[in-house]
Amino acid sequence: MSGRTCIKRFRVRARSVSAVRRHVTATLTDWKLGGLIEDAVLIASELTTNSIRHTKGTGDYFELALRRRNGILVLEVTDSYQWRMPELHKPAPDDLSGRGLFLVDALSENWGVRPRDPGKTVWAHLPVPQTGQP
């Protein structure tokens, strides 16, 4: 099954992170992509946390999009914060935060950021396992 999309808006608040986790789990279960749930939930959680942490005062909502296209699961988090695009930085060993994009980078096949007006979309790709292959 290919070509599915699910887009949902969430409020910019800390408790939305757990709602995103539940939503990703339910959607991927419905799409019969149970093998991707752990990585997809962690990636969505990290991207959502970054959005909430950095978009305070720039909008009330962010969007999470899940798309299944051509053997790839695409996760996208879109917000209205446009002044600073996320970048992969190496945190110091004693830093308490700053490892989210390292996790996204390690778990995903590819990830990136594209500007929007206003804001940005941070996306990550997970390969969808082929069924029925030896």
Is the residue at 42 inside a domain?
Answer: yes
- Provide the 10 A C-beta neighbour count for residue 34: 10
Is the residue at 132 inside a domain?
Answer: no
Q: Which residue is associated with the tokens 């996208």?
A: 76
| pLDDT for position 20 | 98
Is the residue at 134 inside a domain?
Answer: no
| pLDDT for position 117 | 82
Is the residue at 106 inside a domain?
Answer: yes
pTM to 2 decimal places: 0.85
Confidence of residue 1 (pLDDT cuts 50, 70, 90): very low
CATH number at residue 57: 3.30.565.10
| Domain that includes residue 62, residue range | 4-127
Is the residue at 102 inside a domain?
Answer: yes
Is the residue at 133 inside a domain?
Answer: no
pLDDT digits (tens, 9 = 90+) for 70-122: 999 999 999 987 666 666 667 666 655 556 788 898 899 999 999 888 889 99
- Provide the 10 A C-beta neighbour count for residue 114: 11
Is the residue at 77 inside a domain?
Answer: yes
Strands (E), the chain: 4-11, 61-69, 72-79, 110-115, 120-127
* Cross-sheet strand order for the sheet of 72-79: 4-11, 61-69, 72-79, 120-127, 110-115
Number of domains in the chain: 1
Nearest-angstrom CA–CA distance, 121 and 76: 6
Is the residue at 58 inside a domain?
Answer: yes
Nearest-angstrom CA–CA distance, 83 and 66: 25
